[in-house]
Amino acid sequence: MQFSTTVDITKSRYPIVYSDKILTLGSCFADQMAEKCRKYLFQITANPFGVLYNPFSIAYAIQAMANEDMNVPVVFHNGVYHSLFHHSVFSSGSQMELQNNVQQSIIEGHKALQEANVVIVTFGTAFVYALKNLSLLVNNHFNEPFVVANCHKLPPQNFDRYRMDVQEIVDLWQSILDYFPNKHWIFTVSPIRHLQDGLHENQLSKATLMLAIEQLMKKNAQRKISYFPAYEILLDELRDYRYYADDLLHPSSVAVEYVWEKFASTFLHTTEQTEMKRMNKLYLNTQHRPNIPNSAEQAKFQQMTQKLYNSLLPNHPWIQQTTPSTDYTTKKVPRNATDDNFRQITNKIYRAIQPQPRHLTQPIPNVNYRPIDRHLPYEDRVKEVTRKLSKMLKINS
């Protein structure tokens, strides 16, 4: 007995292996898939310009990254400077900082695009917004309305809204495919519905995107171009609101995991399955935070992690940026040396898997673990807790 419609997916002729470098572009669903890849320590860069939704803005971002240059329109709204070609994570109260963030994204995007041999593109909507009130621009280098990647909550009367047609998308993206003929392009349509477009217009928008992708695949049948039916899986195979988040629009964590498993079985090489388990084990180990850092059990755990790390490093050098300076194997190590070395490895993995752009990430805080000594009498433990809380709250006790 079958209780759902199964989406049949053909195994890809161009499987992804660990040596591949991957770039994901598009909607927040692209970020979710990228996050899954990071947990298995794939070499992946996600959305150097932040989340982008429509085919025009994604194509323009690729062009800017390829040329390593972009004329960025800047607006000042509610005390913040915004780039209309970037997501709001790049925005800043300082115009100079915004420009630095944008320039860094272009540099890092250029590097990621040049190195990537797999590009995953997720279209979110066929609707675009063109800024018509050019007087809003801080740097008015534009003489006519242009499509923006993000409206940054500017009043809607400043924009013209329209839906791109199929041929417009095909012509735009065909030029990109011609420019990068040797990359493996994986297209998807985001399963996240855009209710602000209206339910009916959202369906028209998604259909437009699917028709455009279908035409691109037919025109480029001899090239490495694939389609992954993420939209169909969520709306047909998982047709139940229990697979959605609280907003009833975004997929739940269970749904994201299910779609990821479908993606992995379709595009990831079967020979990588065992290696993926070991890489994920290393990722999980580096996320572990001990209750008692200096215990024998923790030292054993660190040695096991070091051994796993050393076994993976020769074939996967990107998981580290500097060589570990301390060996776990000796018992005669200085106090906290194992902790310091373990944190070094954790930081290396953290830097390797962090979402792009890298300048927006922060290093793992160097937490000083000093748990309460549980062997103290109860009254002394209470006093110790009170003392620490008072110090934290800056209360003179």
70 and 108 Cβ atoms separated by less than 8 Å = no
Residues of the chain within CATH 3.40.50.1110 domain(s) are 21-268
pLDDT digits 0-9 by tens, 220-245: 999 999 999 999 999 888 888 888 88
DSSP 8-state symbol, 235: I
Tell me, what's the pLDDT at 385? 55
Q: pLDDT-derived band of residue 333, with 50, 70 and 90 as boundaries?
A: very low
**Superfamily of domain 21-268, CATH level 4:** SGNH hydrolase (3.40.50.1110)
Task: For residue 225, give the nearest of 236, 214, 233, 234 by alpha carbon.
Answer: 214
Tell me, what's the pLDDT at 51? 94
Lowest mean pLDDT among 6-10, 63-67, 203-207, 285-289: 285-289
45 and 356 Cβ atoms separated by less than 8 Å = yes
Question: What residue has token string 């809607």?
Answer: 156
Mean pLDDT for the stretch of residues 176-205:
92
Tell me, what's the pLDDT at 376? 54
Tell me, what's the pLDDT at 344? 58
Does residue 318 register a pLDDT over 70?
yes
Instruction: Please tell me the pTM assigned to this model.
Output: 0.78
Q: pLDDT-derived band of residue 386, with 50, 70 and 90 as boundaries?
A: low
pLDDT digits 0-9 by tens, 57-110: 999 999 999 998 888 899 999 999 999 999 999 999 999 999 999 999 999 999
CA distances from 56 to 33, 48, 113, 123, 149 (A): 21, 16, 17, 10, 8
Q: pLDDT-derived band of residue 331, with 50, 70 and 90 as boundaries?
A: very low
Tell me, what's the pLDDT at 363? 35
Higher pLDDT, 201 or 393: 201
